[in-house]
Chains A and B, each alone.
Chain A
Amino acid sequence: MIRIELLTPNGHLFSSDTYNKLFTMHGVVMIFFFLIPSIPAVLGNFFLPLMIGARDLAFPRINLLSWYLLVIGGLFAIFAMLAGGVDTGWTFYTPYSTTYSNTWVIATALGIFVAGFSSILTGLNFIVTIHRMRAPGMTWFRMPLFVWAHYATSLIQVLGTPVLAVTLVLIFCERVFHIGIFDPALGGDPVLFQHLFWFYSHPAVYIMILPAMGVISELISVYSRKPIFGYSFVAFSSVAIAVLGFLVWGHHLFVSTQSFFAGMVFSFLSYFVAIPSAIKVFNWTATLYKGSISFETPMLYAFGFIGLFTIGGLTGLFLACLGIDVHVTDTYFVVAHFHYIMVGGAIMGYLGGLHYWWPKMTGRMYPEGWAKLSALVIFLGFNLTFFPQFILGYLGMPRRYHTYPSEFQVLHVLSTAGASVLAVGYIIPVIYFIWSLRYGAVASSNPWGATGLEWRTPSPPPVQNFEKIPVVTHDAYDYSTTIGEVIEVG
C-alpha cells in the first residue's frame, strides 16, 4: 500500500497523515512484532532444545508467559492502530512524539514495552537452556551454529531491551506528566532520546539478523554436506557482533549535533562490526569448496541471503563513513540498506529455515517446484523493489516523504512494480504451506541427510522431543554419521 501511494509524486490515495501512520505501523509491526520475534520465537523455540538434545526449554512456563506478553503487546498495537494510529515513525523521535503528535503514542509504546519483556524472557530462557540443558557429549564446540547465533542474540535481548523499556517509560512520563526529559521547552534534551533509543535499536538489528545467520550456517552445511569452514570463527563472530553492536549506536547521530569527536569514534567502531560479518560470508562461501552441493529450496534461500546480505552489509560501510553518511542519512539509501539486511537477510533466513524445518515441524514435505519458483520470484522482486532506492537515496530523496519532486518518479514506479512482484512471491508459500499440511508427501525423520539432533527423532517430534536423550559423540556437521556409502568428490 505504501508503495502504491508512492507511484505518483503528489500522492492521491491518502492524506499525508494517513501515509505517516501507515509507515509508522509498518515499521512498528515489522520490527517489534515480526522481525524481532520471528526466528527466535518460531524456529528457536522449537529447535533450540531439539538441537542440543533437551526435552524442552529450561523454563517452559516462562516461555508461555513470554508468548502471552507478545500477544498482549500485539493487542495494544492493534488497538492503537484501530483507534486511530500513530504517526511518529517507529523511531519515536522527541519532542515530536512526546509533545507534538496527537496520535496514539502511549498505546503503541505500551505495546512495545510489553513485547519487550517477552523478548527479555525468551532471551533469558535460551541462555539458561543452552548453559544447563545440553545433552551428554554436546560440548560448546559441538553445538550447531544456529544455537551459537541464538546465544548471541539472547545476550542482546537480555542486555539491550531493558534500555528500550526505560526509554519508553521516559516517553510516557514526559507525554503524560510533562516532566521535562526530552523536550527543550520543558528543559529536556531531544538528542538524549536518540542516544537511548539507538543504544537498544542498533543492537536490535542484530537481534533480527543473527538468528538468520544461524539458519544460513545450517543450510549451507547440509546442502553441501560439509562442516562449516571455520566453525569457531563463525561461532565467535556471532558473539563479537553482539558485543560490538552495543558500541556503535552513535552512527545514527552523525548529523544530530553530536560532536566531531563522537562522530569519529562511532564511525571507527562501526567498521569493527563489519569484520565479523565479512568473516561469516567468506566462511560460508569457503564451505562450498569441494562440497557436494544440491539445490533444494532452502539452499536457494541461503544463496539469496548471502547475496543480499553482502549488498546490505557493504552499503552499511557507506553509511558508517562520515563523509557519505552526511549526504545519505535519512534518505532512501538508508531505507534500501536496512531492507537489504532485514528483508533480504532476516526474512530470507526465516523462509529458508521454515522450508528446511517444515518437514520436521509438520511431518509433511512442501512442494519443491512451487517453492523454488517462489524463492526466485522473491529474489527478483526484492531487488527490483529495493535496488532503485539506493539510487533514489543518493539522488537525495528523503525518507518518510508522502509527496516528492517529480524527477524521482521513474525510480519510485520501478520500486512499486518490484513490490508487487515481491508480494506475489510471499503469497505463493503461504498457499502451498497450508496445502502441504494435508496433501504434502509424508516426511521421513531426516529427509535432507542432516546431522543435527533434531533429525534423529521422528517428524514431527514427540511431545518429549526424544524417546531417550541422545548422547553426542561427534562434532556438529559430521556427515559420515548420516550418509551411508562414501564417494569422495573434488
Chain B
Amino acid sequence: MGPLPLFPQEASSFAPDVDHLLYYLLAVAVFFTVGIFLTIFYFAIRYRRRSDKELPRFVHTGMTLEIVWSVIPFGLAMVMFTWGASIFFNEGRPPADAIPIYVVGKQWMWKLQHIEGQREIDELHIPVGRPVRLTMTSEDVIHSFYVPAFRTKEDVVPGRYSTTWFTPTKPGKYHLFCAEYCGTNHSRMIGWIYVMQPQDYQNWLNGGSASGSMADSGQKLFQSLACGNCHHPDGRGRCPSLVGLYGSDVLLSNGATVKADDSYIRESILQPDAQIVAGYQPIMPTFQGLVTEEGVVQLIEYVKSLGKPGPPVTATPQQVTAPHR
C-alpha cells in the first residue's frame, strides 16, 4: 500500500514558519486535551458513586477560578492570533523582485505563462531560492491554487485577479492541487511544481519553444484587436496613450483616482464602461469574448512593457520605439 507519511515536506520559506506555529498550537492543544482527559479520569475514579443513597455536598462556584480559566486560554489564543496574522501578513506581500507567473484556471486544468513566453499546462518550472509571484484568475468557476509543500493556497476567482507568492527552498517535484471544489474532475485538476537549480532553470527557459515573450504576444494581440487604431502612443485623437500607464495613478471621470494595476487594466479591456478616464468619452468597446484571460494578461504585460510611470505622462514617440524590457 505504500509509505505512511505523517508530515509534509518543507519546501518554501513559509513552510518552517507555518510549522513552528503548528508546534505551538499542538503544544497548547495537547496540554489541554491531556489535562482535561486526566482530570476527568481522576475525578471519575476518585468520586465514583459508592452508595446509591449518597448526596454530594454543594461546591460553590469560584469566581476567581472562572476568571482564571477564561483569561489564560484567551492569552494563549491571542498569541496564536498575532503569530498567525504575522505569517499571513508576509504571505500577502510579494517582494518587488519576484518572478511573475500568470495562472489561469479552468475546468479542469491549470494554464501557466512565464513572462519570457513559456507556457505550461498543469506544470510549473521555477528556480530555487527566488521569490515567485503568481497572478491568477479563472475562466469559469472558483478554483484554488494549493501547494502543500509550500504551505500556500489562494483561491482563483473568475472576474478578478488574486495573487500569492512563495520562495522555494528545495529543488524537487511538488504536488499542485486544486483545493476549491470545481465540478466533475476537481480531483484531477492537479499538477506538479518543479523547483530547479538556477542553471537548470535557465536552460529550461532557453530550451522551450516559446514564440517570443508575453509582451511580444501582447503586442501582436494589440495589433490584431486593433487597439492601436484608437490608442496612439502620443495620445493624439480621442483616446489616452497607454505609454507609462502601468503603475501610475489615473484620474477618473467621477473624480476618483485609481492605481493602474493588473486588475485595472483587465477591467479597462473587459468592462471599459466601469471606470472612465477623466477627459475621455466612453467609446471603447468591450473585448469580452474576443480575448481570452490568457490574452488579457499578455496585453497587460505589453502595456507594462510600454514603460513604467515617469514624470511625462504624455509620452514622447521615442519611448515607444523601444517596447522591450
Point out residues on A near B: beta carbons under 8 Å.
16-17, 20, 87-89, 91, 93-96, 99-101, 183-185, 189-191, 224-227, 229-233, 254-257, 260, 263-264, 267-268, 271, 274-275, 278-279, 281-283, 285-286, 288-295, 303, 306-307, 310-311, 314-315, 317-318, 320-327, 329-331, 391, 394-396, 398-411, 413, 479-480, 483-490
Contacts and interface: CB of A to CB of B under 8 A. Distances in A.
A413 B158 CA distance: 36
B125 interface: no
Nearest to B108: A16
Contacts of B21: 321, 323-324
Which of A227, A279, A321 gathers the greatest number of chain B CB atoms within 10 Å?
A: A321
A233 B66 contact: yes
B43 A255 contact: no
Given A95-B158, A293-B44, A395-B7, A278 B1 contact: no
A289 B89 contact: no
B95 interface: no
B186 A20 contact: yes
A288 B48 CA distance: 9
Given A306-B36, A310-B32, A401-B187, A483 B55 contact: yes
Please tell me the size bucket of the interface on B: 35 or more
B107 A100 contact: yes
Given A322-B87, A324-B22, A289 B47 contact: yes
A271 B78 contact: yes
B2 A406 contact: yes
Contacts of A400: 181, 186-187
Interface stretch (B143-151, B222-230, B238-246): B143-151
Interface string B24-55: 01001100110011011001100111110111
Nearest to A322: B88
A129 B143 CA distance: 46
Given A95-B141, A293-B49, A488 B185 contact: no
Interface in B111-166: 140-142, 144, 146, 148-149, 151-155, 157-160, 162
Contacts of A401: 186-187
A488 B55 contact: yes
Contact of A93 (B44, B178, B180, B187): B180
B18 A323 contact: yes
A332 to B, nearest CB: 11
Given A20-B184, A396-B177, A489-B57, 5 more contacts: A256-B142, A288-B40, A324-B22, A406-B2, A407-B3
A225 B56 contact: yes
Contacts of A311: 29, 33
Given A93-B181, A407-B5, A190 B158 contact: yes
A417 B33 CA distance: 25
A448 B66 CA distance: 29
Contact of B184 (A17, A91, A289): A17
A479 B52 CA distance: 13
Contacts of B87: 322-323, 326
B4 interface: yes
A224 B29 CA distance: 27
Nearest to B17: A323
A321 B48 CA distance: 39
Q: Give the interface SS of chain B, mostly helix, strand, loop or mixed.
A: mixed
Contacts of A94: 142
Given A93-B181, A303-B40, A488 B54 contact: yes
B61 A230 contact: yes
Contacts of A263: 85, 88
A327 B7 CA distance: 13
Contact of A403 (B33, B53, B187): B187
A115 B84 CA distance: 38
B6 to A, nearest CB: 6
B211 interface: no
A254 to B, nearest CB: 7
Interface stretch (B68-76, B296-304, B311-319): B68-76
A199 B20 CA distance: 32
B148 A396 contact: yes
A100 B140 contact: yes
A431 B183 CA distance: 39
Nearest to B87: A323
Contacts of B148: 327, 395-396
B43 A288 contact: yes
B290 interface: no
Contact of A257 (B39, B151, B162, B190): B162
B269 interface: no
A87 B25 contact: no
Question: Closest 9 A-B residue pairs measured CB to CB?
Answer: A396-B148, A184-B159, A323-B87, A322-B88, A321-B84, A401-B187, A288-B43, A323-B84, A314-B29
B20 to A, nearest CB: 10
Contacts of B208: none
B55 A231 contact: no
Contacts of A227: 58
Nearest to A408: B5
A20 to B, nearest CB: 7
A273 to B, nearest CB: 10
A489 B51 CA distance: 10
A391 B6 CA distance: 6
B29 A317 contact: yes
A95 B143 CA distance: 11
A255 B157 CA distance: 11
Given A100-B140, A291-B43, A184 B158 contact: yes
Nearest to B41: A303
A289 B77 contact: no
Contacts of B2: 406-407, 409-410
A32 B291 CA distance: 42
B48 A278 contact: no
B47 A288 contact: yes
Contacts of B151: 326-327
A125 to B, nearest CB: 32
B36 A285 contact: yes
A190 B144 CA distance: 14
Nearest to A93: B142
B33 to A, nearest CB: 6
B179 interface: yes
B51 A327 contact: no
Contact of B8 (A290, A324, A394, A413): A394
Identify which of A191, A286, A323 gathers the most chain B CB atoms within 10 Å of its CB.
Answer: A323
B77 A271 contact: yes
Given A274-B77, A285-B40, A293-B49, A226 B184 contact: no
